[in-house]
Structure 1
Amino acid sequence: MAAGRFREPVTFERLVAGDDGYGNPNSAWADIETAPGVVMMLWADMLEGLGKEAIASGRLESPRTATIRFRQSDDVLAIGEADRIKARGATWDIRGIGAVGRKGAVVEMTCEEVTS
């Protein structure tokens, strides 16, 4: 895949456990950092698709989907389906991850936009 296709800047979030200050456990999404104070940002090839309409709780929903590709790297391999992506002003849940091509030089993530 040509380098020019990887032109979307994306960042990643991970759910981290914490404390609410009163001893009660809670969790929140935090940016994944490559070093303290340095948010991990990678360049990606992103293709948005049409959502699939579904009826949930008596209303029609059509979440947007996207296929996001990255060049394989240690940073990309550290991302899992429990993490999420921030790109194009939206937050995306990662639904699947796989290597593309015979050499696995590209990692593809299928994602669905977070609606709430």
Structure 2
Amino acid sequence: MKMGAGALRHQVKFRRRGSQVDDLGNPVGQFEDLFTVWGNVRETTGKERVAAGSVENLRTATIRIRKSPQTSGITEADQAVTRNEEWNILGIANVGHDDAMLDMLVQAGGAQ
């Protein structure tokens, strides 16, 4: 499952919410930039669903990046920004026989 450098053609910035917490211990505040890497973004077809009486447009994609000590620290609480859009990270998986890549299932259009 090797991926050549040419396939990693999208810049992906990762962001993490600031270290402030509310009275219940939940993170609050703005997202802060962590780092930027090259990745491959594959968007899936969008879907609309009715949520609480309103139509909600949710789009999903998979972002593949090279695994490194830096990228290994990414969690589902972080956010990816690519192609001028913010994506919430829903899941992260090691891929390839040598686990050299990370695949992230991401969603745009929903709340973080």
TM-score by length of 1: 0.81
Instruction: Output the aligned Cα RMSD.
Output: 1.8
Provide the residue aligned with 1:28 in structure 2. 30
Separation in 2 of the partners of 1:115 and 1:94? 11
Q: Note if contact 1:17-1:28 (Cα within 8 Å) is conserved in structure 2.
A: no
Matches within 5 A, 1:15-94: 15-18=17-20, 26-32=28-34, 40-94=35-89
In terms of fraction of residues, the more strand-rich structure is: 1
Separation in 1 of the partners of 2:46 and 2:33? 26
**Structure 1 range deviating more: 99-108 or 10-19:** 10-19
Q: What one-letter code is carried by the residue in structure 2 that aligns with 1:27?
A: G
Q: Which runs of 5+ in 1 are unaligned?
A: 20-24, 33-39
Separation in 2 of the partners of 1:108 and 1:12? 14
Q: What one-letter code is carried by the residue in structure 2 that aligns with 1:8?
A: H
Separation in 2 of the partners of 1:51 and 1:84? 19
Provide the residue aligned with 2:13 in structure 1. 11
Separation in 2 of the partners of 1:50 and 1:41? 26
Q: What one-letter code is carried by the residue in structure 2 that aligns with 1:80?
A: T
Residue 49 of structure 1: CA displacement? 1.1
Bigger radius of gyration, 1 or 2? 1
Identical amino acids, percent of aligned pairs: 37
Q: What one-letter code is carried by the residue in structure 1 that aligns with 2:10?
A: E
Residue 2 of structure 1: CA displacement? 1.4
Q: Which runs of 5+ in 2 are unaligned?
A: 22-26
